[in-house]
Amino acid sequence: MNMSFNLNALLRDNIRKLVPYSSARDEFKGEASVWLDANENPFGSPLPHDYNRYPDPLQHQLKHKLSKIKGVPAEHMFLGNGSDEAIDLLYRAFCTPQVDNVILVPPTYGMYEVSANINDIAVRKVNLTNDYQLNLDGIAEAIDQHTKLLFICSPNNPTGNSINAQDIETILVNFNGIVVIDEAYINYSKQKSFTQALAEFPNLVILQTLSKAWGLAALRLGLAFASKEIIEVFNKIKPPYNINQATQDLVLEALDGVDIINEWIKATVAEREVLVSKLATLAQVEHITPSDANFVLVKLSEPRALYAYLVEQGIIVRDRSKVTLCEGCLRITVGTKPENERLLEAIQTFY
């Protein structure tokens, strides 16, 4: 339990005082059959759906279904236009430009820094250790009274490993700002989600996404789980109709596909292990970081030349060879069996 966390004190002044935009549909709560409040086209849309009407701003139906799947009550859930929207809203809610700062633990997901830069928030970097775990002493030293957010990605992108849960708890207990745990790749991991710890930590925000295991990257749906009070802040500052109707409809339908998603997760994890064991037999592969995600970080000789060769072969991986602590590494997403075999053949041909 974190005893000294004070959400109200943490908020930006303007956000604390903000009177949120109130849409026509927010103000009216009853039943009606004639809707002349929102300047919509009354005739319909050119599509066989009621897309002429604005969507539910709080996505009640979708949250209800997601809450059963995730085991988190709907009041503890925010939905964003990808988790990237939730990252941006966290900066806007808590960080005053040119005053506050955020702690990032590189190598990690790039949007935390991009979003900080867009919002003019100072970034304090405390590198992960050589085995890609948190440097707790370094983090403690970097925190000051203007540190509002700390992002931890677990399993981490681009390294693929999970971050030690005990270390994350240490930060949750001792840091009086918001600890964001990005669980974009949690479905592929042996570690359990932090969702069951929400009641214990008022300063915890968990990010998840339907863009990875759920196979819905194009629909843009990210989730944030947090205390009711933090969710209220998100709802106060989000664009009113941030999740469009087509996404709400299609995701509702997709959520019935939990069985196939679980099969694909198992297949991906099995393929990951095959890919790792085959890569490990190559003399030019110097290191493979044990992965809890659907990608592997591989250190090998001549990474940039190999990357260019793979591009020529029509195979695109991610070159991370210039990233601090990832020197010499490519990040490779686990594909289907035939895709992974094509990749391995191309690597062998290159060497």
* Least distance CB 348 / ligand PMP (angstroms): 28
Place of tokens 């003019």: 120
Between the alpha carbon of residue 327 and those of residues 21, 135, 154, 302, 319, the distances in Å are 47, 19, 21, 11, 10
DSSP H or E stretch at residue 347? helix 337-350
- d(CA 290, CA 287) in angstroms, rounded, equals 9
219 to 258, contacts with ligand PMP by CB under 6 A? Answer: 222
Q: How many residues make contact with ligand PMP (CB under 6 A)?
A: 12
Q: Does 153 bind ligand PMP (CB under 6 A)?
A: yes
Q: Tell me the residue nearest to ligand PMP as measured from the CB.
A: 82
309, 350 in Cβ contact below 8 A? yes
Residues 157-196: x where in contact with ligand PMP by CB under 6 A, - otherwise, as a string: x------------------------x-x------------
Residues with Cβ within 8 Å of 63's Cβ and at least 6 positions away in sequence, in order, are 74, 77, 79
Q: Does 268 bind ligand PMP (CB under 6 A)?
A: no
If you ran DSSP here, which 8-state letter would residue 204 be given?
E
Among 89, 91, 81, 121, which Cα is nearest to 248's? Answer: 81
By C-beta, is 11 or 82 nearer to ligand PMP? 82
- d(CA 212, CA 155) in angstroms, rounded, equals 12
* Least distance CB 224 / ligand PMP (angstroms): 10
75, 66 in Cβ contact below 8 A? no
Q: Does 109 bind ligand PMP (CB under 6 A)?
A: yes
71 to 100, contacts with ligand PMP by CB under 6 A? Answer: 82-84
By C-beta, is 211 or 242 nearer to ligand PMP? 211
By C-beta, is 25 or 92 nearer to ligand PMP? 92
By C-beta, is 99 or 217 nearer to ligand PMP? 217
* Least distance CB 145 / ligand PMP (angstroms): 28
Residues that bind ligand PMP (CB under 6 A): 82-84, 109, 153, 157, 182, 184, 209, 211, 217, 222
